[in-house]
């Protein structure tokens, strides 16, 4: 149904990757006018993949719910979440702001989310990533994810303008 895969998890991953490829293709084709609607892909299957991609060893959400606990009754939780998002009834909870120390003795802010919001944000990232990833694709590294953060982006990186000269 969703490709030649050996498990439901692999089938979901394949399904999401197929849709992401389609979104990237559409974004490329409609580069000048942009895409007006990709949110219809955000369904319980999409969010189940987003949930699966969250790292299990991370801290629980601000609500005290761990990934494993959120996974209990996952199907119902995701159906409810999708329904609230589609009806525009979803309200993001307040983000708990904490200051964490940097290596130089200074502090930087960190926003902590509840588990439901982590899943939803991951799902949205998975939706828009194919649209924006092409803007940052580099001829040198193949992907913005592979680019060194200390190397400035320049015209050869798909950016316009004169900034980022590496010479």
CB-count burial class (<10 Å; 0-12, 13-18, 19+) for 48? buried
Distance CA 18, CA 143 (A): 18
- What DSSP character marks residue 34? -
Whole-angstrom Cα distance, residue 47 to residue 42? 7
- What are the tens digits of pLDDT across the range 7-47? 556 667 877 888 888 888 877 877 777 777 777 778 898 89
Is pLDDT larger for residue 7 or for residue 67? 67
**What does the pLDDT read at residue 116?**
94
Residue 98 neighbours by CB under 8 Å, 6+ apart: 109, 110, 112
Token pair 């050996």: residue:
6
If you average pLDDT over residues 157-165, what whole number do you get? 40
Rounded CA-CA distance 12/49 in Å is 6
pTM for the model stands at: 0.68
């Amino acid at each position: 149904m969703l490709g030649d895969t050996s498990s439901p998890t692999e089938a979901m991953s394949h399904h999401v990757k197929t849709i992401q490829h389609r979104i990237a293709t559409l974004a490329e084709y409609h580069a000048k006018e942009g895409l007006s609607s990709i949110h219809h892909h955000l369904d319980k299957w999409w969010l189940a993949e987003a949930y699966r991609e969250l790292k299990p060893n991370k801290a629980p959400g601000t609500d005290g719910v761990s990934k494993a606990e959120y996974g209990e009754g996952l199907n119902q939780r995701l159906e409810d979440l999708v329904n609230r998002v589609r009806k525009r009834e979803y309200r993001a909870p307040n983000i708990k702001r904490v200051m964490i120390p940097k290596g130089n003795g200074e502090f930087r802010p960190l926003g902590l989310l509840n588990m439901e919001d982590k899943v939803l944000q991951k799902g949205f990232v998975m939706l828009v990533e194919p649209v924006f990833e092409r803007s940052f694709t580099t001829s040198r590294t193949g992907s913005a994810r592979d680019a060194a953060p200390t190397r400035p982006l320049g015209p050869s990186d798909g950016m316009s303008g004169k900034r980022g000269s590496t010479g």
